[in-house]
C-alpha cells in the first residue's frame, strides 16, 4: 500500500507542472519483472515535423538488488520496421545510494532513450521494453527481477 501511495503522490506532483511531456505513461509491475515479459507502450498522433527526446522512466525500491539495469528495447514503426537496442543504465552510486529522485525507499529515474527523434511515419509506434539482467558469471537471465515497481515511457517536445 505504501508503494501505491508514494507512486500516486509522485505522479500528481509531476503531472501538475509538466509542460514538456507530450506523452508519459507508466505501467505497474507485479512483485517482480519476469525476464520474458515485455512492457508495451503504443504512441500515435505526434507531429512528424517536430523533434522529440525519448526517455524510459522507472520507479525502483530498496528491494532492487543491482547497481545497474540492462534493458532490451524494441521500437516498431507503423510500417513494421523494428529497431532493437540493448541499453544499460546506472541505478546506484558507488556507495550504494540510489541515483533516482524521491522520498523514502521509492526512487524515480528518468533515463535517456533516444535523442532528437522524429516520428516521420503516420500511424502507431509501439515500444517494447524487457529486462535483460544477469547475475555475475551466469549466462541465464534473472527470471524474476524484484524492486522495479513501474516502467514508463516519456516523450518530450524539444523547444526551439
Distance separating alpha carbons of residues 137 and 160, to the nearest angstrom: 47
| Residues of the chain above pLDDT 70, percent | 88
- In this predicted structure, the answer to whether residue 94 has a pLDDT above a threshold of 90 is yes
Distance separating alpha carbons of residues 59 and 101, to the nearest angstrom: 9
Distance separating alpha carbons of residues 128 and 81, to the nearest angstrom: 13
pLDDT category at 18 given cuts 50, 70, 90 is low
pLDDT at 12: 52
Could you please report the per-residue DSSP string of 49-118? TSEEEEEEEEEE-TT---SEEEEEEEEE-TTS-EEEEEEEEE-B-TTS-B-SB-STT-EEEEEEEEEEEE
pLDDT category at 89 given cuts 50, 70, 90 is very high
pLDDT at 87: 98
Torsion, CA 20, CA 9, CA 87, CA 32, rounded to 10: -150
Q: In what order do the strands lie in the sheet with 148-157?
A: 21-28, 148-157, 51-60, 107-118
pLDDT tens sequence across 19-51: 789 999 999 999 999 999 999 999 999 999 999
State the cell numbers at 36.
520474458
Higher pLDDT, 5 or 122: 122
- In this predicted structure, the answer to whether residue 2 has a pLDDT above a threshold of 70 is no
Amino acid at each position: 500500500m505504501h508503494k501505491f501511495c508514494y507512486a500516486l503522490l509522485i505522479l500528481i506532483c509531476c503531472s501538475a507542472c509538466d509542460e514538456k511531456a507530450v506523452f508519459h505513461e507508466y505501467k505497474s509491475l507485479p512483485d517482480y519483472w519476469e525476464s520474458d515479459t515485455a512492457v508495451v507502450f503504443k504512441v500515435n498522433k505526434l507531429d512528424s515535423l517536430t523533434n522529440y527526446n525519448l526517455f524510459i522512466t522507472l520507479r525502483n525500491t530498496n528491494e532492487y538488488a543491482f547497481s545497474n539495469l540492462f534493458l532490451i528495447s524494441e521500437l516498431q514503426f507503423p510500417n513494421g520496421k523494428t529497431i532493437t537496442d540493448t541499453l544499460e543504465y546506472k541505478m546506484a552510486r558507488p556507495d550504494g545510494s540510489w541515483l533516482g529522485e524521491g522520498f523514502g525507499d521509492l526512487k524515480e529515474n528518468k533515463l535517456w532513450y533516444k535523442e532528437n527523434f522524429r516520428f516521420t511515419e503516420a500511424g502507431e509506434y509501439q515500444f517494447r521494453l524487457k529486462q535483460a539482467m544477469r547475475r555475475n558469471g551466469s549466462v541465464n537471465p534473472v527470471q524474476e527481477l524484484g524492486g522495479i515497481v513501474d516502467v514508463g515511457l516519456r516523450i518530450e517536445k524539444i523547444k526551439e
